[in-house]
Chain A
Amino acid sequence: MRVSRSWTWSFVAPALFFLGLYLVYPTLATIHTSFLDRHGEGWVGLTNYVYAFTSPAMRTAFRNNLLWMVVFTTVTVGLGLLLAVLTDRVRYEGVAKSIIFLPMAVSFVGAGVIWKFVYAYNPPGANQIGLLNQIVVALGGEPVGWLLEQPWVNNLALIMVGIWIWTGFAMVILSAAYKGIPKELKEAARVDGASEWQLFWHVSLPYIQSTIAVVATTMIINVLKIFDIVYVMTNGNFGTEVLANRMYKEMFQFRNFGRAGAVAVILFLAILPLMLLNIHRFRRQEVER
């Protein structure tokens, strides 16, 4: 409806003020800072970016972010989908989903402590107090330093914490989409003699594919920004560094604003395509409304 300009402004101005001050302005300022020296004063051109793409610490961070992206996204979406489909068939669906969804409510820091305890290590022969090593020992193995063995064991151990937190989120959204598949569609396929497996691949999956894409995009955005879990559990030591933790270190430990800015910009550039994809999706959805 048409309202006067002063009404419009009084409704949107406070929000625009905050968005401008806390998101738009700093984004531009950080891009600028990334071309400056450690104090954020003298111009240094691309020096910080050269550092960001060549230093060993940053290479490790890139590798790990990529590992996180592939493993975390595949497992949260895949397992979330599997659980959405399977829990739909059992009577204790509500309880099962609550249990899997619960970690979404606790902080990453809390989750970090929970899992650090699961991974706790005592030398062979001593009593194990970490659940995972107790299982390994009970099966006749040697206890493993889950957070120390690089590069695969400790990174996957950290990624497991992320999976534990986020799978419930994927499951809840995919479950809602799955339940939205019209019954008639499934019945018709069954009448035509499709097996449950064929039904899933040729009817259910195509029907919810756009939701799967949305969940996967959300997961990739989350995982690129991953910080808390790594900060609390290893602080990026033993080859577990990730971009967001590196940015924090450059900013607070090394006091190098130029480099910290460059790492942030790289993170932003990695997310930018997904942001444009989101905007594109949103516009299409608006047209359909």
Chain B
Amino acid sequence: MEREGASPLVHLVIILTCLVWILPTLGLLVSSVRPAHDVAATGWWTVLRNPFDLTQYTLQNYREVLGAAGMGRAFVNSLIITIPATLLTIGIAAFAAFAFAWFQFPGRDALFLVVVGLLVVPLQMTLIPILRLYSRLGLAGTFVGIWLAHVGYGLPFAIYLLRNFFGSLPADLFESAFIDGASPLTAFFRLALPLSVPALASLGIFQFLWVWNDLLVGLIYLGGSPSVAPLTVRLSTLVGSYGQSWHLLTAAAFVSMAVPMAVFFALQRYFVRGILAGAVKG
């Protein structure tokens, strides 16, 4: 691609910003593999004097946070919470989005405006009534309760994104299918879904990261009990109880970030595409 050329100042600004953005994470990563007394006594940057001296690194911190500190259990909980919450949201949203895009029914446009409005409702507005309902139904502190909550909270964005994508598919495609006698279900499964794999992937990554990284919903509906708490909730508890034990906090934080970072590096393109499609265009 043709570039318009850059002065040294441009390079300086970009490189400085990149340093500010990457050094905090690098510090976390380095500290998480240093022995406790080193982390407490000297800054993480001291390893840079001799970065290849492997004797200064250890995996002990990870052993400790995954075991005794409960981050291993929390990791499993996060997977148990995130995977069904993601799949359910996409499934339910896809059906609704298809109807909003291609079916004609009274009140369709008004209903969709409501969905657009619900996009920005603060979760705080919903916590008290749902928690009360959950206490009555015995859903507080259960995985089922949090799956359903994440579906509810994730749907507006999911429907919005998919409806816009389905709507951009060529109309002739569906019209001719209907004339040929295809049922709405066939059109949905045989035409719309296969043509929407990129959009579904973007949405899947989005919802996955959203649920994985969520703190508030987990905190409210699951509580702090280690048997069900996801990584974010567990990590925030550790911040309170470990205080200045930076060797453990850094390792625990990295455990909570490993999956999102892997997803990010492997699927960045879809992630970006989802962000671009999700912003309400001006």
List A residues at the B interface (Cβ < 8 Å): 1-3, 5, 7-8, 10-12, 14-16, 18-19, 21-27, 29-30, 33, 40, 79, 82-83, 86-91, 96, 98-110, 112-118, 120, 127-131, 134, 164, 169, 172-173, 176, 209-211, 213-215, 218, 221, 224-225, 227-228, 231-232, 244, 247-248, 251-252, 257, 260-261, 263-265, 267-268, 271, 274-276, 278-279, 281-283, 285
Q: How far is the CB of A190 from chain B (nearest CB, A)?
A: 10
B253 and A100 form a contact (CB under 8 A): no
Give 6 A-B pairs besides A90-B3, A127-B43 with Cβ atoms closer than 8 angstroms: A89-B4, A100-B17, A107-B257, A113-B250, A131-B45, A271-B120
Asked if B17 contacts A83 (CB within 8 A), the reply is yes
Closest approach, in angstroms, between the C-beta of B157 and any C-beta of chain A?
A: 12
In contact, B126 and A15 (Cβ under 8 angstroms) = no
CB <8 Å contact, A173 and B279: yes
Q: Is the CB of B42 within 8 A of A127?
A: yes
> Given A14-B92, A109-B215, A278-B117, do A114 and B28 touch, yes or no (CB 8 Å)?
yes
Stretch at the interface among B47-55, B127-135, B196-204: B127-135
Residues on B with beta carbons closer than 8 Å to the beta carbon of A215: 279
> Measured between alpha carbons, how far is A34 from B99 in the docked complex, in Å?
36
User: Do the beta carbons of B236 and A232 come within 8 Å of each other?
Assistant: yes
Most chain B CB inside 10 Å of its own CB: which residue of A15, A16, A173:
A15
**Chain B residues whose CB sits within 8 angstroms of the CB of A109 once the complex forms:** 213, 215, 232, 235-236, 239, 253, 256
CA distance A19 to B160 in the complex (A): 13
Nearest Cβ on chain A to B115's Cβ, whole angstroms: 7
A221 touches B120 (CB 8 A): yes
Contact A102 B261, beta carbon cutoff 8 Å: yes
With A23-B152, A24-B118, A117-B250 in contact, do A88 and B4 touch (Cβ < 8 Å)? yes
- The 8 A CB mask of B268-282 against A (1 = contact, 0 = none) is 100110011001111
A3 in contact with B184 given A106-B260, A268-B125 (CB within 8 Å) = yes
B28 touches A282 (CB 8 A): no
Contact call A91/B3, Cβ cutoff below 8 A: yes
Q: In residues 203-241 of chain B, which contact A (Cβ within 8 Å)?
A: 209, 212-216, 219-220, 231-232, 235-236, 239
Q: List 7 contacting pairs A-B, 8 Å CB cutoff, sorted by A.
A: A22-B130, A23-B121, A26-B127, A79-B17, A109-B239, A114-B27, A225-B123
B254 to chain A, nearest CB (A): 8
In the assembly, what is the distance between CA of A135 and CA of B63, in Å?
32
Chain B positions within 8 Å of A120 at CB level: 244, 246
CB <8 Å contact, A129 and B282: no
Q: Are A268 and B122 in contact (CB under 8 A)?
A: yes
Given A24-B118, A117-B250, A260-B128, residue A1 in contact with residue B260 (CB < 8 A): no
Q: In the bound complex, what is the Cα–Cα distance between A88 and B14 (angstroms)?
A: 11
* In the assembled complex, B83 has its CB within 8 A of some CB on chain A: no
Q: How far is the CB of B263 from chain A (nearest CB, A)?
A: 7
- B189 contacts partner chain A, Cβ-Cβ < 8 Å: no
Judge whether B68 is part of the interface by a CB distance below 8 angstroms.
no
Identify whether the interface residues of B are mostly helix, strand, loop, or mixed.
helix
Contacts of B118 in A (CB 8 A): 19, 23-24
Establish whether residues B239 and A232, one from each chain, have CB atoms under 8 Å apart when the complex forms: yes
Within the complex, what minimum Cβ distance (angstroms) separates A48 from chain B?
12
Q: Assuming A8-B103, A99-B18, A231-B236, is B96 touching A27 (CB within 8 A)? A: no
Shortest Cβ distance from A211 into B: residue: B282
How far apart sit A224 and B252, CA to CA, in the bound complex (Å)?
28
Given known A-B contacts A26-B128, A264-B125, A86 and B280 have beta carbons under 8 A apart: no
In angstroms, Cα B188 to Cα A11, docked, is 10
Return the contact of B11 from the options A11, A83, A90, A260 (Cβ within 8 A).
A90
Chain A residues within an 8 Å CB radius of B250: 113, 117
Contact residues in A for B183 (Cβ distance below 8 Å): 7
Give every chain A residue within 8 A of B27 (Cβ-Cβ): 114, 117-118, 131
A210→B282 contact, CB < 8 A: yes
Task: Write out the residue numbers on chain B whose beta carbons fall within 8 Å of the beta carbon of A128.
Answer: 43
B119-154 Cβ-contact flags toward A at 8 Å (1 or 0) = 111111111111010000000000000001101110
Report chain B residues within 8 Å CB of A251.
127-128
